[in-house]
């Protein structure tokens, strides 16, 4: 069933790429497996899926230990500095860097492990006070600062759009993200790549692709609904 769900989402990704005149290989579909059991990840592994998304450090550790094969684990959640040590070296990309303090911690841990950690700068595009994150202007400043740090390499930007009934409501936000990515790319900062734009979830990934997403993070449409989690401490109106 999960394999069928994945194939259905894959078909929608491919169709959105065609509509937008984009190549299918320019968009990575990340299966967001957070809160879901390892068996479900294995089901998708069977059909060749390698990109998975997690948003808790402990769960990332548990899953990477249970699955010895090398997969691309994307860290997409709010990352506390004391959890950085669990994520550096396990995640192929940390999507959610929104402060210099966090970037410093990733630098420290990466240098300790002799790694360069690929990261995205997370922008709070809708400026909702319930979410962590920084504004577009702050993002430009943060990119400049993080670019100076060894041990990290900036690959692009990430955004979480607000939950909406009609995905068209988020089109403007996605467009703003693409414009911000182009603005930053135009600064030609040494060591900064603006190749990746991680945006779009179950409710709006097709619109995000039409507006330039290079990574979409899809959970519910593949794995089914998640239980609301008690262990989340941050206030949020969303079920992730």
Ligand X SMILES: *Cc1c(COP(=O)(O)O)cnc(C)c1O
Contacts to ligand X by CB under 6 A: 32, 34, 55, 76-77, 160, 201-203, 217-220, 240
φ, ψ for residue 188, nearest 5 deg: 50, 50
Nearest approach, Cβ of residue 238 and ligand X (Å)? 8
Nearest approach, Cβ of residue 164 and ligand X (Å)? 11
Q: Buried (b) or exposed (e) across 189-221, using 16+ Cβ within 10 A?
A: beebebebbbbbbbbbbbbbbbbbbbbbbbbeb
Return the DSSP state at 134: B
Nearest approach, Cβ of residue 112 and ligand X (Å)? 27
Q: In angstroms, rounded to a whole number, what is the distance separating the alpha carbons of residues 197 and 212?
A: 7
Q: Buried (b) or exposed (e) across 15-52, using 16+ Cβ within 10 A?
A: ebbeebebeeeebbbbbbbbbbeeebbebbeeeebebb
Given the complex with ligand X, which of 9 and 103 has the nearer CB atom? 9
Nearest approach, Cβ of residue 76 and ligand X (Å)? 4
On whether the CB atoms of residues 192 and 232 are closer than 8 A, the answer is no
Which tokens belong to 45? 């592994």
Given the complex with ligand X, which of 60 and 149 has the nearer CB atom? 60
Half-sphere exposure of 64 (CA within 13 A, CB side): 23
Given the complex with ligand X, which of 55 and 124 has the nearer CB atom? 55
Select the residue whose beta carbon is closest to ligand X and give its number. 219
Nearest approach, Cβ of residue 111 and ligand X (Å)? 27
Given the complex with ligand X, which of 33 and 117 has the nearer CB atom? 33
Given the complex with ligand X, which of 76 and 123 has the nearer CB atom? 76
């Amino acid at each position: 069933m999960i394999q069928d769900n994945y194939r259905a989402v894959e078909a929608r990704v491919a169709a959105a790429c065609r509509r937008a005149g984009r190549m299918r290989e320019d968009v990575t579909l990340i299966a967001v497996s957070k809160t879901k059991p390892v068996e479900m990840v294995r089901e998708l592994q069977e059909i060749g899926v390698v990109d998975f998304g997690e948003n808790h450090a402990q769960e990332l550790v548990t899953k990477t230990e249970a699955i010895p094969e090398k997969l691309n684990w994307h860290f997409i959640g709010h990352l506390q500095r004391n959890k950085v040590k669990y994520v550096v070296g396990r995640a192929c990309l940390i999507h959610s860097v929104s402060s210099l303090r966090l970037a410093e911690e990733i630098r420290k841990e990466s240098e300790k492990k002799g790694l360069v950690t690929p990261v995205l700068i997370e922008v709070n595009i809708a400026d909702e006070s319930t979410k962590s994150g920084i504004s577009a202007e702050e993002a430009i400043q943060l990119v400049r600062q993080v670019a100076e740090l060894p041990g990290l390499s900036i690959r692009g930007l990430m955004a979480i759009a607000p939950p909406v009934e009609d995905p068209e409501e988020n089109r403007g936000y996605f467009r703003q993200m693409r414009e911000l990515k182009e603005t930053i790319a135009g600064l030609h900062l040494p060591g900064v790549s603006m190749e990746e734009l991680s945006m779009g979830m179950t409710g709006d990934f097709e619109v995000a692709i039409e507006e330039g997403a290079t990574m979409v993070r899809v959970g519910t449409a593949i794995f089914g609904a998640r239980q609301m989690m008690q262990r989340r401490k941050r206030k949020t109106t969303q079920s992730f």
